Every structure is written in C-alpha cells, then in structure tokens.
Structure 1
C-alpha cells in the first residue's frame, strides 16, 4: 500500500511542479493567442471530444496500470499500441494490439503469476456528433470500441473475451483556450469463455466528470471523478457493486507533434453486494494509473 501511495504522491508532486514552473508564464501570456488544443487527451481517464484534424495520423502507446486488491500483492498493466487517423472532420478510426503484464501473489481467488503476454486486439470508431463553434462551447463525440482478448484483464488467465465499449465523450469550453470541463458516459458489456468452458457475462456502466485548466500553451492540469457500477449481466439486471474513483491528471505537449498524458485514480468509496467491508476490490482496483505518449504525423 505504501508503494501505491508513494506513486500517487509522486504524480501529485509532478503536477505541483508543473503548476509552479508554468504559472508565471501563464500569467504573462494571453490565452486568446494560444492555438486551440485537442481536448481528447487533457482529462486523464476521461476522454474529450476531440478527433484531430482531417488527414491527421497518430501513433500512440497508452499504458494503463491497475494496482491493489483486498490482500496480497496485485499489479496488472494493459498497453495499447495504437494507430489512428482522421479521414474527415467528423470521423476518427483507431486500431491496434494489446500487451498485458500481471504480477500477482497471495490474492484471494486469483492464482499467483508473473507474466507478459500479447493480450489481444481492438478497434475504435469515433464520430463527432456536435462540433464546437464560436457560439457553441459544447462538443460531443460518440465512440464504439470492440475488443478481443486472449488474456483476462484481471487474473491474467488465458480466456476468450469479447468486449464492446460504448461511450459518449463531451467537453465544455468554460474559458476560451483556458478552462475545460469533460464528461463521459460509459457502457461496457463483455462475454468471457474460460479455459474450463464456462461462459461469463458482465457489464460496467458509469460516468465521469473532469475539470482541466491550461496553465501554459503546452501544459494542462486537472482532476476527475468516476462513478462505476458492475453487473453480472450485459443487460444491467444483476448488480454486484459500485465504486467512486478520484484523482489528478497532467497533459504536456513537448512539440507540435508529440505529447504526453498522465493520470492517477484512487478508489475513495465502494461497496460489494452482500459484503459490509469498505471499498469494492472485487470488481475494481484500489488504484489505477495512465501514461500515454503520442506522435502525430
């Protein structure tokens, strides 16, 4: 637990350093003179509405880590090696491969393992439904992401998993080029066939709210909160528990064609159906982190 708390503190310290280092330049600069920023990546785990410019291509390495269960040691990561392109001003297409790692020891109901594996593949289609204009500060994108996995996200076991994530990504420009609010609505049904032949159906439903401020032309800091519900049925009829996750985010654009996103979420509240213990560490993790690097061309 100290290790995860230390990493959370380190990310907070990183954001604080960014605030101190760039606050002076932010005050000296006129935000109205800054170039418009693509909002897709500035909210951490919350995804903004941006889809990039027509004809733009991008390669991304997106690492999501999940840490901490009720007992023992638990650390798992899933990395997206992703190519995306924007064929027109309303559509963005993404696809790529998944790599996964698991380091598990002494966790109830999970086998001990230490492994790296090719986890599966995914694709995503994003459609800009409402475009931001000078008279309309709101932008909304609809996204669907089918995913096929051969390695279970949580346990690291070999499975056949099919997931179909559907999201609404919205953001609101509160201050021109400076302050943004982001909102996500998530529905993620999936079906898993285990090595023993069992079939499991489940779904996650929830949403997020985020606030990010641009403290320099190339630096954005913020925070987000997620509320997530888990069901043992794709039609949301068998509720098993929920959780609230909260944490900071950081976006840095190193060059006009290269940027980084970092985020950390900690579960601050949760419940498992029929279990009086605090937090929900059966369906969700204690902490999660995100580190994304992208190169446009």
Structure 2
C-alpha cells in the first residue's frame, strides 16, 4: 500500500507540473514552431519508443527506472533501473549496453513470496537500425531494435533465477505538424526463457503494440499520451495464450539543456482478462500501474 500511496503522491506532483506547462504553452503561441530546432523523437512518447537514433558520433549516459505497482491483493511494488551507455557510430546505427538494478517490496500477494530486497539484476544490450529516415518530403521514420537481456533476479517475483530475454521491436513515428505534433507507433515481440532455482524451465512471450501522441507546447517541453495493448503467452511460438491487457496514460518530456533531458510516463491498466477466470483486469501477467522516470546526459 505504501508504494501505491507514494506513487499517487508523485502522480499528483506530475499533474501539477503539467498544468503549469500548459499555461506556459500559451506564451509559446506567439512563437513560430518552424524556427524551433528539430527534436530527437526516441524518448518523447513515454513507454513507446520513437525512431530517433541521435547524431553520428553522439554518446549518452542514462538512468532509466520503470516501476510496477499493484496486484490482485496485498502490496506489490517492483522497480528495474537501467544504467545505460549509448553511442551512435553512424547515422543509421545506435548501440547501447548497461547494467540492471532491481527492487522488490511484496507482501500478501497470492502466488508470490513476501519480499523486501534490492540487488544487481543483470545486464542488457541493444542494437537499433534506422530503416526509414524522415525527410522534408517523407514525415515517417522507422527503426528496428533488438535487445537481449540476461537477468539474475525475476522481474515479477524478485526470486533468484537465470532469465534470458530477446526483445524485438519496430519503432516508428510520424511528424503530423512540423516541429509541433508527433505520433508514435511500436510493435513488440518479447520471448524469454527462465530457469528457476528448483531446476524448472519456463518459456513465455509477450506480444504488443502501442500508439502515442506528443505535443510540443514550448521548444523544450512535450506532453502527450499513449495506449498499449499487450498479450501474454506461455510459449515463445505464441501457441498458448494466457491473457491480455490495455494500459494508457500521460507522458512528459523536458529538455533541461541541449545535452540533458528527462522523460516521465505513467500507465494504468484500464482493461484486461486472464484465461480461466471471470475477474476483471489481468493482474497475473501484468500490473495495475507502471511508471517511468528517465534522465539522460549527452556528451
């Protein structure tokens, strides 16, 4: 319960900030967005990833935390933080790698052991390829992304495991109004295999897609919203469907300086189903709320 209360408090602060930013947007109406600098679209959609890969030769360090809150009963709060180094060796390729840190605060949740822990979660890498570049005559941009992960701590339960995941995604975005309004679309396929301490092997996969809008109210601030549809399978071949969910919520992007920025997002599960049960929502494979807070420094 403490995690949910804390999350609600932070959500209230973010909401207040959004109101302030909307007021600032009134000042921006007198400016001409055509005079604003182009913005990298990779991070402006919250959990939805845009197609941008940065400028050739650019390097970046980010701290990217995702929190998941709320199960069917009891108290559930889990976070995973990526400490990530990213570089762009060419205008079409971006490479990232880093370490994972995790926390779990679980009490009274059916099917999960009580736990209050923090630790080193594993490592990851990501390869992104810009397949279609935006031009003055083409507002659409598309990037293919591949992200292998190796985890020593289970994302959901916090148990010690050996987990291997290979996330594959298609990230695209469309400039609807030049320098002002953007639409983002993701397709996701995430197969994984987990070896438990008892010697069991669990194979599963997540399939999903998202749509997002992001509006640039002033040159360094964008606000928007996104919706995700996610499906879970107990097989990487997508042959054993176990449930799905729809999550939606607001997004915020703030560019503090030319080399530093912040991303914040919150998603709430508005609909879901689990096979074999009439209960509302899918709180077995997914969570009631998820939040993202990311800070980045380019150099």
TM-score by length of 1: 0.98
Q: Which runs of 4+ in 1 moved over 3 A?
A: 4-10
Instruction: Give distance in 1, aligned partners of 2:129 and 2:289.
Output: 31
Partner of 1:48: 50
Q: Deviations over 1:103-139 (max 9, x none)?
A: 0011001001111100000000000000000000000
Q: Confirm or deny: 8 A CA contact 1:11 1:264 kept in the other structure.
A: no
Partner of 2:39: 37
Partner of 2:59: 57
Q: Confirm or deny: 8 A CA contact 1:243 1:284 kept in the other structure.
A: yes
Instruction: Output the aligned Cα RMSD.
Output: 1.0
Partner of 1:80: 82
For residue 292 of structure 1, give the secondary structure of its aligned residue in structure 2: strand
Q: Confirm or deny: 8 A CA contact 1:206 1:226 kept in the other structure.
A: yes
Deviation at 1:11, TM superposition (A): 2.6
Instruction: Give distance in 2, aligned partners of 1:191 and 1:176.
Output: 43
**Aligned positions, number:** 296
Q: Deviations over 1:44-82 (max 9, x none)?
A: 000000000000000000000000000000000000000
Partner of 1:291: 293
Partner of 1:19: 22
Q: Confirm or deny: 8 A CA contact 1:77 1:101 kept in the other structure.
A: yes
For residue 24 of structure 1, give the secondary structure of its aligned residue in structure 2: helix
Q: Deviations over 1:138-176 (max 9, x none)?
A: 000000000000000000000000000000000000000
Instruction: Give distance in 1, aligned partners of 2:37 and 2:8.
Output: 36
- The one of 5, 8, 12 aligned to 2:11: 8
Are 2:127 and 1:103 equivalent residues in the alignment?
Answer: no
Deviation at 1:5, TM superposition (A): 4.1
For residue 40 of structure 1, give the secondary structure of its aligned residue in structure 2: coil
Are 2:215 and 1:213 equivalent residues in the alignment?
Answer: yes
Partner of 1:233: 235
Q: Deviations over 1:221-253 (max 9, x none)?
A: 000000000000000000000000000000000
Partner of 1:266: 268
Deviation at 1:258, TM superposition (A): 0.3
Partner of 2:170: 168
- The one of 105, 116, 119 aligned to 2:118: 116
Instruction: Give distance in 2, aligned partners of 1:204 and 1:182.
Output: 20
Instruction: Give distance in 1, aligned partners of 2:32 and 2:66.
Output: 35
Are 2:90 and 1:94 equivalent residues in the alignment?
Answer: no
Instruction: Give distance in 1, aligned partners of 2:269 and 2:12.
Output: 15
Deviation at 1:88, TM superposition (A): 0.3
- The one of 139, 145, 154 aligned to 2:141: 139
Partner of 1:252: 254
For residue 71 of structure 1, give the secondary structure of its aligned residue in structure 2: coil
Instruction: Give distance in 1, aligned partners of 2:28 and 2:185.
Output: 25
